[in-house]
Structure 1
Amino acid sequence: MSAGHLTMADGSGGGGADEAGLLARLDRGLGALVAWPAALLVLADIGVLFAGVVSRYVLHTPLLWSDELAAILFLWLAMLGSVVALRRGEHMRMTALVGAASPARRALLEAVATMACLAFLALVVHPAWEYAAEEKAITTPALEISNLWRAAALPVGIVLMATFAVLRLLRQATGGQLLQALAIVGGLALAFWLAQPLLAPLGRLNLLIFFVGVAGGCVFAGIPIAFAFGLATFGYLALTTQTPMLAVVGRMDEGMSHLILLAVPLFVFLGLLIEMTGMARAMIAFLAALLGHVKGGLSYVLIGAMYLVSGISGSKA
C-alpha cells in the first residue's frame, strides 16, 4: 500500500517536473524568437538613421523614406522590446511594499501583478486588431505601402505579451495563487463594472478615482507602472465616457511614433560603444580622481559624466 503511494507520488512529481521543464523550454524558445528580431531591429534602425544622416548632410540628397522606415521599425522595436521586458520582469514598477511582504504574500502579489497585466492586454487586444484593420486602408506617403505594416506591431506585441504573461503565471504561481489572483483581479473589475451607474454622475471626480486611486493602488501593489496607468485609462474611458476604445490604442501608437524617439536606438548604440571601448570606465575614473575627494563627490561625478556624454552625443545634459 505504502509502496503504491510512493510510486504514485514519484510519478506525479516526475510529471510536474516534466511540465515545468516543458514550460521553461517553451518560454526560452519563444523568448529567443522575440529577442533576436528585436536586436536586429535595433541594428536596422541605426543603419537607416545613419544612412539618412549621411545622405542628407554629406551627399546632400536626402532619402525621403528614411524617417518613415525608421519610425515603422521603431514601433516594432518598441512593441517587441516591451515583450522582452515583460518576459524578463524588467518593466518599471515599485516593489517597496511587495518586497516587504512575507514570501507567501509576495508570491501572491506577483501573481496578481501578472494577472493585472494580462487583464489589460486582454482588454486592448481586440481594439488593437480593429485599429490595425482600419490602418490597412491608409498608404504611407514615402514608402507607399499599407500602414498595416506599421500598425500590426500593436496587436502582435500585445498577443506576445499576453502569451508570456500566461507562461509566467503557469511557471511561477501555484494553482491556489492563480485562483486567488484571478479572483482579486476579476472581482475588482466586476465591482467597477457594477458601479458604472454610480460613476457616471461624478464627473471630473472620476479622474481622482481612476488616476489617483486605481493607478496609485496598482503601482503600490507592484503592477508595472505602464500597465497601472493603462488599466486606469481604460477603466476611466470605458466606464465614464462614450469614447471608443480604439482611442487607447491610437494614443499608444502616437506615443511611440514621435520623431524624437528615433534617437533612442542611437543612444543605446552609444552606450554600448562607450562601454565596449572602455571609454565609460576611463571617464568615471578621471572624474572620480578630479572630484571624488570633495564632499558630495559622487553627485559631482554623476553630473560631470552627464555633461561629457551629452557633449559626445549632442544632447542636453
Structure 2
Amino acid sequence: MTVADKTADMSEEFLLGGLETLEPPRAGSLWMRPFEAVAACLLVVIIALLFTGVVSRYVFSFPIIWVDEVASISFLWLAMLGAALAIDRSEHLRLTLFVNLLPEQLRTLAETFGMLLVALFLAVMLRPAFEYAMEESFITSAALNIPMSWRASALPVGVGLMLVLALYRGLRGASLPHVAVSVVAIAAATGLLWLLIPGFKEIGNWNIPIFLVGFVAFFLVIGIPIAFCFGLGTLAFLTFSTSVPIFVMIGRMDEGMSSIVLLSVPIFVLLGCILDATGMGKAIVEFLASLLGHVRAGMSYVLLGSLFLVSGISGSKVSDMATVAPALFPEMKRRGHKPPEMIALLATGAAMAETVPPSIVLIVLGSAAGVSIAGLFTSGFAIAMVLLLVLAVLARWKSRREAMEGVRRAPLSVIKKTLLVAAPALILPFIIRTAVGEGIATATEVSTIAVLYALIIGMVLYGGISRGRLYTMFVETAALSGAILMILGAASAMAWALTQTGFAAQLVQSVQGLPGGWLSFMGVTILIFLVLGCVLEGLPAIVLMAPIMFPVARSLGIHDVHYAMVVVTAMNIGLMTPPIGIGFYIACKIGNVSPDEAMRAIWPYIGALLIGLLLIAAVPFFSTAFL
C-alpha cells in the first residue's frame, strides 16, 4: 500500500473525491504502430542521453561531447515522426470554431479541401527537403564525425510520411464530388495566382497582408492545422511575390525546430503526463484543500493555488486544468458555486499560472527571442503572484454569499498526513525554478531530472505507472511534441519571410514615432497579443512575432524580461477570452459546462486579469525586481 493509499480513508471526509481524466486521444492506425514504437524509443533515448550528460558533467566532471549531437539527431527525428503521428491521430492544433458552424455537407467539404491543401504543401516541400538532406551530407558533425545527412534525412522522411497520411485522411470517406470540387478549386486558385505574379511583385510589402495575413486567416477559418496555415501562407508568399527559392524555407523550418533549448519541450510534456497518471497533482490539491477549505472563498483559493503549484510541475495548461477541476468542483458545487463561475475561475487561473516555471511558453520564448530562460523563470513566479492576488480578491468578493453550513476545519492530523503525501510533489516546482534560476543546470537538463524524479517518486509513493500506460504516454508525448515543433518550424519560416521584407525595420521607425513612447508601444503590444492569443494559441504567436517585436522593445529601452512577461500574460488572457480563445473551450470541456453559460460568467475574471496586466506593463519592478 502506498503512502497516498494509507491517508485516503482518513482524509476522505475533508478532501475532494477522485481525479477524472480527459478522454484519451484517438489511437493511431494499425500500420502506424511501428512508427509509434520508433518515436517512443527516440524519446527514451533523448531522456537517457541527457541524463547521462548531466551525471557525467556534474558528478564525474567528465563531459561526454557527443551526447548533444546524438540528442539533436534523435530530436529532429522525434519531431518529424511525431508530426506524422499527430496527423494520423488528428492531434494537430487547429481552429474549429467557424467550421463547426457550417452545415454538415459544407463542413465535410471544408475538411476535404483543407486536408488536400495540407497534402499540396507537403508535396511541394518534399523535393526541397530531400535536396536539403543531400546538401547536409557534405557537412560533417564535430563530435561524431558523421555526415549531417543522418540528421537532416528526418525531414524528407517525415514530410513524405505526412504526405501519405494527409492524402489518406483527405480521401478517406470523402465523396467524389467533394474531392473533385476541392481539386478544381485548388488548381484554379493556383493558376490565378500564377497569372498575377507580375502584379504581386510590383506592390512590394502589400503582399504581406495578402499572403501572410489574409491567406493564413482564411486557412485558419476553414480548419487547417495551425502549422500548415503558416506553411501554406509562407509558401504562397515566397512563390508568387518573391524570387526566393522554396529550398530556403525548409532550412528555416529546420532551424525553428532544432534549437537545443527546445529539447526540453517533449520532456516537460511527458512530465505533465506523469503528473496526471501518478496523482501527484491530486496530492497537492488535497493538501491545499485540507489547509484552506474551511474559510470563505477557500475552495476558490485552493483552485488558484493548485493551478499555481501544479503548473510549476507540468508546464501544460490542459494538464493543470484536468488535474485540478475534477478534484475541486464537486465540493465547490456543494457550497453554492455555480458551474459557469467555476469554469471562469478555472480558465483565468490557468492563464495566470502560465508564467510559473517550467512553462513551455517561456522556454520557447527564450529560444525565439534570445532572452535568458533563467531570468524568465525567476520573473515568472513574481508575475504569477500579481495575477493570483488580483484573481483571489475577485474570488473573495464573489464568494460573499457562499454556503458554509457544515464546513469545518480539517484536524491537524489530516493536514499533516496530506502534507506528507504532497511534499514530494510540492518540492518539484521549486527544484526546477531554483536549478534554472541559479544557473545550476539548463532548462533541458532540469526537465530530464524532473521526469526521472517524478517517475521514481510516482512508483515509490503514488502507485506507479503500468508498462502499457507508460508506453501510451511516450507515444502521446511524441505526437503532441511533433505538433508543437511543426508549428514552431512553420512559424519560424514565416517570421523569417517577414523580416526579409524589411517590415521589422519599418515597424521600428513607425513605433518610435508614437506619442507616449514605450507606454504606447506596450499598449500596442497588449492589443496585438490579446488578438493573437485568441486565434493562434501561445507558441505560434510567440515564434511568429518575437523576432519582430523584441528588437522594437529593445530600441525603446524596455527590459527583455519585462517585455516578455507582458507578451506572455496578454497572450494567455487572449487564449482564455471567448468567443474565439481555444483555452476557454478546453476549460468548458473539462468542466462539462456549456460555453454559452460560461461566456457570460468569465468577463469579470478577464477584467481582473487585464487590470493585473496593466499593472505589470506599467510597473517594470514586478518583472525585474528579483533578477
Q: TM-score, normalised by structure 1?
A: 0.86
Q: Which amino acid aligns with 2:258?
A: S
| Pairwise CA distance, 1:92 | 0.8
Q: Secondary structure at the match of 1:244?
A: coil
Task: Spell out the pairing of 1:82-97 with structure 2 (5 A cutoff).
Answer: 82-97=83-98
Rounded to whole Å, the distance in 2 between the matches of 1:118 and 1:191 is: 20
Question: Does the aligned pair in 2 maintain the 1:287–1:304 contact within 8 Å?
Answer: no
Deviation string, structure 1 residues 204-230 (Cα, Å, up to 9, x no partner): 111111111001111111111110110
Q: Which residue of 1 aligns with 2:234?
A: 233
| Pairwise CA distance, 1:172 | 2.5
Rounded to whole Å, the distance in 1 between the matches of 2:77 and 2:260 is: 14
Structure 2 residue 303 is matched with structure 1 residue 303: no
Q: Which amino acid aligns with 1:270?
A: L
Question: Does the aligned pair in 2 maintain the 1:288–1:301 contact within 8 Å?
Answer: no
| Pairwise CA distance, 1:108 | 0.7
Structure 2 residue 225 is matched with structure 1 residue 106: no
CA distance 1:287–1:233, shift in 2 (3 Å):
farther
Structure 2 residue 248 is matched with structure 1 residue 253: no
Q: Which residue of 2 aligns with 1:154?
A: 155
Rounded to whole Å, the distance in 2 between the matches of 1:163 and 1:115 is: 11
Q: Secondary structure at the match of 2:224?
A: coil
Rounded to whole Å, the distance in 2 between the matches of 1:53 and 1:275 is: 26
| Pairwise CA distance, 1:185 | 2.2
Rounded to whole Å, the distance in 1 between the matches of 2:120 and 2:45 is: 33
Task: Spell out the pairing of 1:269-288 with structure 2 (5 A cutoff).
Answer: 269-287=270-288
Q: Which residue of 2 aligns with 1:7?
A: none
Structure 2 residue 70 is matched with structure 1 residue 44: no
Rounded to whole Å, the distance in 2 between the matches of 1:179 and 1:299 is: 52
| Pairwise CA distance, 1:34 | 1.6
Structure 1 stretch displaced more, 204-213 or 296-305: 296-305
Question: Does the aligned pair in 2 maintain the 1:86–1:165 contact within 8 Å?
Answer: yes
| Pairwise CA distance, 1:141 | 0.5
Structure 1 stretch displaced more, 146-155 or 239-248: 239-248
Q: Which residue of 2 aligns with 1:313?
A: 432
Q: Secondary structure at the match of 1:139?
A: coil
Rounded to whole Å, the distance in 1 between the matches of 2:173 and 2:34 is: 22
Structure 1 stretch displaced more, 230-239 or 180-189: 180-189
Structure 1 stretch displaced more, 175-184 or 51-60: 175-184
Rounded to whole Å, the distance in 2 between the matches of 1:197 and 1:103 is: 39
CA distance 1:296–1:273, shift in 2 (3 Å):
closer
Q: TM-score, normalised by structure 2?
A: 0.44
Give the ranges of 4+ consecutive aligned residues of structure 1 lying more than 6 Å apart after TM superposition: none
Task: Spell out the pairing of 1:166-315 with structure 2 (5 A cutoff).
Answer: 166-287=167-288, 290=292, 293=298, 298-307=303-312, 310=357, 311=429, 312-314=431-433
| Pairwise CA distance, 1:294 | 5.5
Rounded to whole Å, the distance in 1 between the matches of 2:288 and 2:86 is: 33
Rounded to whole Å, the distance in 1 between the matches of 2:195 and 2:235 is: 16
Rounded to whole Å, the distance in 2 between the matches of 1:248 and 1:296 is: 48
Q: Which amino acid aligns with 1:235?
A: A
Rounded to whole Å, the distance in 1 between the matches of 2:169 and 2:79 is: 21
Q: Secondary structure at the match of 1:172?
A: coil
Q: Secondary structure at the match of 2:310?
A: helix
| Pairwise CA distance, 1:169 | 2.2
Rounded to whole Å, the distance in 1 between the matches of 2:246 and 2:289 is: 52
Rounded to whole Å, the distance in 2 between the matches of 1:114 and 1:300 is: 42
Q: Which residue of 2 aligns with 1:126?
A: 127
Question: Does the aligned pair in 2 maintain the 1:45–1:265 contact within 8 Å?
Answer: no
| Pairwise CA distance, 1:266 | 2.2
Structure 1 stretch displaced more, 302-311 or 239-248: 302-311
Q: Which residue of 2 aligns with 1:139?
A: 140
| Pairwise CA distance, 1:295 | 5.2
Rounded to whole Å, the distance in 2 between the matches of 1:115 and 1:288 is: 50
| Pairwise CA distance, 1:268 | 3.0
| Pairwise CA distance, 1:179 | 1.0
CA distance 1:299–1:126, shift in 2 (3 Å):
same
| Pairwise CA distance, 1:103 | 1.1
Structure 1 stretch displaced more, 166-175 or 138-147: 166-175
CA distance 1:239–1:88, shift in 2 (3 Å):
same
Aligned length: 291
Q: Which amino acid aligns with 1:48?
A: L
Q: Secondary structure at the match of 1:82?
A: helix
Q: Which amino acid aligns with 1:303?
A: F
Question: Does the aligned pair in 1 maintain the 2:111–2:170 contact within 8 Å?
Answer: no
| Pairwise CA distance, 1:271 | 2.2
CA distance 1:243–1:36, shift in 2 (3 Å):
same
Rounded to whole Å, the distance in 2 between the matches of 1:187 and 1:99 is: 26
Rounded to whole Å, the distance in 1 between the matches of 2:113 and 2:285 is: 41
Q: Secondary structure at the match of 1:95?
A: coil
CA distance 1:104–1:286, shift in 2 (3 Å):
farther
Deviation string, structure 1 residues 215-264 (Cα, Å, up to 9, x no partner): 11111111111101101111111221121111110011101110101112
Q: Which amino acid aligns with 1:132?
A: A
Task: Spell out the pairing of 1:14-25 with structure 2 (5 A cutoff).
Answer: none
Q: Secondary structure at the match of 1:91?
A: coil
Rounded to whole Å, the distance in 1 between the matches of 2:176 and 2:286 is: 51
Deviation string, structure 1 residues 6-26 (Cα, Å, up to 9, x no partner): xxxxxxxxxxxxxxxxxxxxx
Rounded to whole Å, the distance in 1 between the matches of 2:303 and 2:180 is: 47
Q: Which residue of 2 aligns with 1:28?
A: 29
